[in-house]
Amino acid sequence: MTVSEAKTCLACSKPLKGRSDKKFCDDYCRNNYNNQQKAKGNYSSYVRNINNTLLRNRKVLESILPGTEETAKANREKLQRLGFNFKYLTHTYLTKTGKTYFYCYDYGYLPLDNDWYLIVKRKEE
């Protein structure tokens, strides 16, 4: 490779040394470049905000359900105080008896009477 063909870092444009397929001079440049690429997408902040809300919802449900228990109960006020947003979920599950469980990944809830919810974790198959 001649000097005119020398490759440069995609992030900072410094000349690259080492492997012929190298694209970045270090991890900082690689991360910076990839973060900028993600930020360019039209939907990126929209999707990121939804994913953050779903993950927060999952953490709230996980925090209420102790690891040793199969179910727990919480009221709407407690869930909302912990940052739970009822508008976002990943999927629903309809039981044979007609009850609908609402899930955020592997943690879910079943609405009960008087703004109470039964918190559950999906059993691994």
Q: Residue 111 above 60 pLDDT?
A: yes
Cα–Cα distance, 59 to 105 (Å, whole number): 10
Q: Kindly state whether residue 106 falls inside one of the protein's structural domains.
A: yes
The pLDDT of residue 30 is 93
Per-residue pLDDT tens digits for 48-86: 899 999 999 999 999 999 888 999 999 999 999 999 999
Q: Kindly state whether residue 22 falls inside one of the protein's structural domains.
A: no
The pLDDT of residue 103 is 98
Q: Kindly state whether residue 96 falls inside one of the protein's structural domains.
A: yes
SS3 content of the chain, % helix, strand, coil (to 5): 40, 20, 40
- Of 28-37, 51-60, 72-81, 104-113, the poorest mean pLDDT is in 28-37
Structure tokens at 38: 């993600």
Q: What is the span of the domain harbouring residue 90?
A: 44-121
Q: Kindly state whether residue 64 falls inside one of the protein's structural domains.
A: yes
Q: Residue 105 above 90 pLDDT?
A: yes
Q: Kindly state whether residue 29 falls inside one of the protein's structural domains.
A: no
Q: Kindly state whether residue 95 falls inside one of the protein's structural domains.
A: yes
Q: Kindly state whether residue 79 falls inside one of the protein's structural domains.
A: yes
